[in-house]
């Protein structure tokens, strides 16, 4: 595991590379500077309590201060050192504001400010010189300068390729998640409730719920068929199966890991998990520079159909099940997505830096990833196989009901479903690094 000094060195390189990328964006769009706001806290309606604050991903891409309200970052065409503006307020009610990790300040010019009027003195004096990226127009920029699409499209496009620092953050986020995943598995095997399992996960990674990159999905038994099962049961149930989808954040970058377990290792469901695990690793191996996520998604459907055929759920060939759309009943989501400081990172369906979108596949118009894989990109690979009552009911009432062995469906319904998800780096030399499998292999417990 890389030490903090080495990570600070990588961060300095990250700032340099990102600065050059953004200066190229400025040159292409004729702005003098890009200013990114971290964001402001929000008060709940008819209350005096604030929602948990998380800085927006455009800011977190640059600065690991996800909890620092009121911060701004300035990248200028004529300076290779970004400016970080930190709001200073006297506050006796709350803990001290979040600080940068040791050594991270070296590549930044850090300026403390007390008011927006003071901050504005540092900005371009041209009316249209600043491209302001923020949720709200807090600096009162002219409309054309607030989130100009010509700038945000190019930012999203460049985010496809991760710097060495960004890759390391996701790598460390995978490693931090492994003890938590193992703690959740042990809690399941001990008969814990879903809420108790989630608590075990949080203890395993030493994080609070609000530090999670996304809500923990912890589905016991039939709840494994709920793709985003966040409403966790407090009651314990006799365990049969368990699906957990949970990550950890490192400096604002996420891991996104899913594992599925059977309580009885001798059950058909346990055998089904083993076959899906082998299949998932085959799909991982199919990735690489220039490979099409759409083609891999199609291949994953054929492979899921083959698994269903192998376990006697289908009465027809895998090819026929795929052609008729039957496989989508059992596998209703995409194979994966681009990963970074957004869990579902942006830019994966852009054809170019000008913001043109790739045409959506006719059969799969909602896929998150359509662009060919590029060097230094991070992807998730997460095929699934589920027994979802609502989708199965629709299939059973339709014209292809006779192509399903419904007694086998009934056998698997109580187990919910299977999803297995790894995080993959596509390296420039053509190799693939499986951050998740490496972490599970290397970290013993």
335, 298 in Cβ contact below 8 A? no
CA dihedral 122, 125, 130, 134 (to 10 degrees): 60
CA distances from 316 to 321, 336, 361 (A): 7, 27, 25
Q: How far apart are CA 388 and CA 402, in angstroms?
A: 18
254, 435 in Cβ contact below 8 A? no
Nearest 5°: the CA angle 283, 285, 286 is: 65
Write down the mean pLDDT value for the chain. 96
Single pTM value for the model: 0.96
- pLDDT per residue as tens digits for the range 392-429: 999 999 999 999 999 999 999 999 999 999 999 999 99
pLDDT for residue 223 is more than 90: yes
Helix segments in 137-208, DSSP class H: 149-158, 164-189, 194-205
Residue partners of 237: CB distance under 8 A and separation at least 6: 193, 220, 221
Task: State residue 95's pLDDT score.
Answer: 84
Nearest 5°: the CA angle 186, 188, 191 is: 115
Average pLDDT over residues 78-99: 90
Cβ neighbours of 68 (radius 10 Å):
20
What residue ranges do the domains of the chain occupy?
Answer: 4-158, 164-442
pLDDT for residue 16 is more than 80: yes
237, 220 in Cβ contact below 8 A? yes
Q: How far apart are CA 34 and CA 217, in angstroms?
A: 37
Average pLDDT over residues 149-161: 96
Residue partners of 270: CB distance under 8 A and separation at least 6: 262, 264
- Residue 62 φ/ψ region, left for φ over 0, alpha for ψ in the -120 to 50 degree band, beta for the rest: alpha
Q: Which residues pair with 113 in a beta bridge?
A: 87
Helix segments in 242-374, DSSP class H: 268-285, 293-310, 318-323, 327-330
Residue partners of 307: CB distance under 8 A and separation at least 6: 272, 275, 276, 279, 385
Distance from the Cα of residue 332 to its chain's centroid: 18
Q: Which fold has domain 4-158?
A: Creatine Amidinohydrolase; Chain A, domain 1 (3.40.350)
Closest by CA to 42, choosing from 66, 60, 69, is 69
Q: For the ranges 198-202, 252-256, 359-363, 401-405, which has the lowest average pLDDT?
A: 359-363
- Parallel, antiparallel or unpaired: strands 33-37 and 72-76: antiparallel
- Label residue 1 by pLDDT band (50, 70, 90): low
Task: State residue 338's pLDDT score.
Answer: 96
Average pLDDT over residues 385-398: 98
Kind and range of the H or E element at 61? none
Residue partners of 79: CB distance under 8 A and separation at least 6: none
Q: How far apart are CA 148 and CA 125, in angstroms?
A: 18
- pLDDT per residue as tens digits for the range 270-324: 999 999 999 999 999 999 999 999 999 999 999 999 999 999 999 999 999 999 9
Residue partners of 375: CB distance under 8 A and separation at least 6: 161, 289, 426, 427, 428
Q: How far apart are CA 137 and CA 37, in angstroms?
A: 10
- Label residue 330 by pLDDT band (50, 70, 90): very high
| % of residues, the chain, pLDDT over 70 | 99
Q: What is 164-442's CATH number, 1.20.1290.10, 3.20.20.140, 3.90.230.10, 3.30.70.520?
A: 3.90.230.10
Residue partners of 34: CB distance under 8 A and separation at least 6: 22, 25, 26, 74, 75, 130, 131, 133, 151
Q: What is the distance in angstroms between the CA of the first residue and the CA of the last residue of the chain?
A: 16
């Amino acid at each position: 595991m890389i030490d903090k000094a080495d990570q600070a060195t990588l961060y300095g390189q990250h700032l340099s590379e990102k600065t050059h990328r953004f200066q190229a964006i400025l040159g292409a769009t004729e702005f003098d500077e890009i200013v990114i706001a971290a964001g402001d806290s929000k008060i709940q309606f008819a209350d005096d309590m604030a929602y948990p604050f998380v800085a927006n991903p455009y800011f977190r891409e640059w600065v690991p201060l996800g909890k620092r309200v009121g911060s701004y970052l300035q990248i200028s065409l004529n300076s290779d050192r970004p400016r970080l503006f930190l709001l200073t307020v006297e506050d006796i009610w709350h803990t001290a504001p979040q600080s940068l990790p040791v050594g991270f300040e070296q590549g930044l010019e850090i300026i403390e400010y007390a008011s927006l009027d003071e901050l504005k003195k540092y900005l371009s004096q041209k009316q249209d010189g600043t491209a302001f990226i923020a949720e709200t127009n807090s600096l009162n920029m002219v409309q054309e300068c607030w989130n100009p699409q010509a700038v945000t499209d190019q930012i999203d496009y460049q985010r496809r390729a991760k710097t060495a620092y960004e890759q390391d953050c996701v790598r460390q986020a995978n490693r931090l998640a492994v003890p938590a995943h193992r703690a959740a598995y042990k809690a399941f095997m001990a008969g814990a409730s879903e809420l108790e399992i989630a608590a075990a996960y949080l203890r395993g990674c030493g994080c609070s719920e609000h530090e999670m990159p996304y809500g923990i999905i912890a589905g016991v038994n039939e709840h494994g068929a709920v793709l985003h099962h966040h409403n966790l049961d407090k009651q314990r149930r006799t365990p049969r199966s368990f699906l957990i989808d949970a990550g950890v954040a490192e400096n604002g970058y996420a891991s996104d890991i899913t594992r599925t377990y059977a309580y009885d290792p001798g059950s058909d469901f346990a055998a089904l998990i083993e076959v899906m695990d082998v299949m998932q690793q085959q799909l991982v191996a199919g990735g690489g520079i220039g490979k099409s996520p759409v083609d891999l998604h199609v291949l994953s459907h054929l492979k899921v159909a083959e698994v269903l055929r192998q376990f006697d759920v289908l009465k027809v060939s895998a090819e026929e099940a795929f052609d008729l759309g039957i496989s989508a009943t059992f596998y209703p989501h995409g194979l994966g997505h681009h990963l970074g400081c957004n869990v579902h990172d942006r830019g994966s369906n852009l054809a170019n830096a000008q913001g043109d979108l790739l045409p959506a596949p006719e059969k799969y118009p909602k896929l998150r990833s359509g662009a060919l894989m590029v060097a230094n990109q991070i992807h998730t690979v997460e095929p699934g196989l589920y027994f979802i009552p609502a989708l199965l009911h629709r299939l059973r009432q339709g014209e292809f009901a006779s192509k399903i062995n419904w007694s086998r469906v009934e056998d698997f319904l109580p187990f919910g479903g299977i999803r297995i998800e790894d995080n993959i780096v596509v390296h420039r030399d053509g190799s693939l690094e499986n951050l998740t499998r490496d972490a599970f292999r290397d970290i013993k417990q």
